Structure formats: structure tokens, C-alpha cells
Copies of this chain bind each other. A is one copy, B any other.
Amino acid sequence: MTSKSLLTGNVNCNDDGKNYFFKVEALQKTGSFKFRGALNAIKSELETFQGTSMPVVTHSSGNHAQALALASKLASTAAVTVTATIVMPNNAPMVKKAAVEDFGAKIVMVENTNEAREEEADRIVATTGAVFVHPSENPRVIAGQGTVCLEFVEQVRELNAGVDLDLVIIPVGGGGLASGNLVCLRGLLGNKVKIVLAEPSELDDAKRSFQAGELLKHRPDNELNSVADGLKTTLGPNTWPIVRDLADDIITVSEEEILIATKLVWERLKMAIEPSAGVGVAVAKSAEFHQKYPKSSGIENVGIILCGGNVDILKISAMMKELGL
């Protein structure tokens, strides 16, 4: 909400004697951390770009689409115009299309399959020479997402009399946020910091991959019925090795735990986060987390990345009410 969209808080969300700090990426431009990676990718490309109009393209119906659209607009200069094309499934909500168009990006609609989206993006790259900016696999996107913890670590030090975070919880979907910040945190704090990835049980590809030691997709029978829709994508060849080598742990949580945690953040922190961001808080409140990381283990200062705030509150509220929350 401030010009740098930075906000750090210190709120006890558990009665476990630990301090909890929240990095509220819901306040980032376009309502999620995705803007960081998109802007970094575009600005990096511009450094070596020769010409007056640089086309970029991606496929996304979610937060990355808006982020790339706005980043293209803001990165355009008097010398170079960045034009974004977003490939979207034809069942994407009107409100998401409108947001992308408001930022001046062009939308190309395709059938709602991964193949159709990828084919169309490939076709646009081949015919226009556009730069393809993958939502999570692009190395410059990964690096951009890593600026979350670059700020987080500094802000917590400042708030907390120089004391560092002992543990950071990061939601994981496609793994751009997770891998960027794993690299960032190991660089800044080495092995002094524990890093726990947070994932819905319904979308547990990262946890299953981590346990198996090899990159796995979603279970074939998985219907991807999670309220944490921002985390439906899976790890890929660039994000997986970073997760495998640098994460300490992956903890999964149920749909009910996610909704309870999301409601808690709405009520206590007064932040209207999306359920994907509630996943990290749900992990902090889980029995597994308390067992593994009690205060007696030296884990006192815990950071949680609240990754986004693009949420249909009336819809999620109705789900909470049905559950009797």
C-alpha cells in the first residue's frame, strides 16, 4: 500500500511464545508477489534489447497475468515500449480479463488445457519474436521473487533489535516464490535459518517430490480441489533442484486448516489475504509444526510470507460459514 508495498508486522498468532512476523505481499502492486518477478524479467531483457518495441508473452489466468501486464506498462520508456500478450483459458473470470486489459495488455483466448496454452504461447514467440516469461521457471522471475526475503530479513532486523529470523515459512505452488527465497535466505543467513515450505494436502506435488527425491507431478487422480487456487501449478526443472537442495522441510495442511488460518489473518491482522497466503499461517498453527519446531529448539522468531490478496471474499466467506467457522 505504501509506494514500496512493504509492510512488516509482529503479531502473535499462536500461544506458543514465539514471535511471528508477516511479509504482506497482498500489498504489493497487483496484489501479489508476482509483480516482483515479472518486473525483474522485463527490466533484465531491456538491458540488452535493441529496438523500440519489445513484445513479451506468458500464459496465465491468475496473478502472474496481471503482474506481467502492469510490469510491461511500467517498464516502458520513451525509447522502448514493452507490449504484453497474455494467453488465457476461455473460461477465465471476466474480472481477471478486465484487470489485464486495464493495464494495456493484449489477451489471446484459448481452450482450457495446458497444451492449448503452451502451443499458443509458442506460436506467438515464433511469429513475433516475443520474450516468453514463464510464471515460475524463468530464472529472472525466480530472482525477482527472491527480493521478498531480501526486504523481509532487513525489516525484521530493524524491528527486532538486530535479531534475525530463525525460521521462514513459504507457500509453494510452481515454486518461483519458494526457490527465489530459498536462494536469497541461504545467501543471507546460511544454515542458521530453517526454511519450511507450506503446501495444501490437496496439491502435494512438492511434498511428494521432496520425500521421493525426484520431481513428481500431481497424482493423476488429483482433481486439484483446493481453495488455495494460486498454488495449483507444480514444480518444474528449474525450481525443483533448488527446493530439493535448499529447503529443510515441507508441511502440508488441510482445506479446513487453510480456511481457519485465512479467517484468523482477516480478523487479527486486518489483512484481506487470499487462501494461498493462509497456507503458511495454517502450517504455523499445525500440530506437526509445533512438534518439530518447539520454542525449546531455539526457534523463536518465525517469518511467514503472505503471498497475495486477490480473493473473492464473499465466496470464501460463504465457504467458511458452511464449515461453521
Residues of chain A having any CB pair with chain B under 8 Å? 1-3, 7-11, 22, 24, 26-27, 31, 159, 263, 266-267, 269-273, 309, 313-314, 317-318, 320-321, 325
Contacts and interface: CB of A to CB of B under 8 A. Distances in A.
13 contacts: A1-B8, A1-B10, A1-B24, A1-B270, A2-B9, A3-B10, A27-B270, A263-B314, A266-B313, A270-B273, A271-B271, A314-B325, A318-B318
Nearest to A5: B9
Contacts of A269: 1
A270 B2 contact: no
A270 B26 contact: yes
| Copies of this chain in the oligomer | 2
A108 B1 CA distance: 41
Given A31-B270, A263-B313, A272-B271, A7 B7 contact: yes
A29 to B, nearest CB: 11
Contacts of A313: 263, 266-267, 313, 317
A309 B270 contact: yes
Nearest to A7: B1
Contacts of A24: 1, 270
Point out which of A26, A317, A318 has the most chain B C-beta atoms below 10 A from its C-beta.
Answer: A317
A302 to B, nearest CB: 16
Nearest to A325: B314
Nearest to A274: B270
Contacts of A27: 270
Given A1-B11, A317-B317, 15 more contacts: A1-B7, A1-B8, A1-B24, A1-B269, A2-B159, A3-B159, A24-B270, A27-B270, A31-B270, A267-B272, A272-B272, A314-B317, A314-B320, A317-B318, A318-B321
A298 B7 CA distance: 32
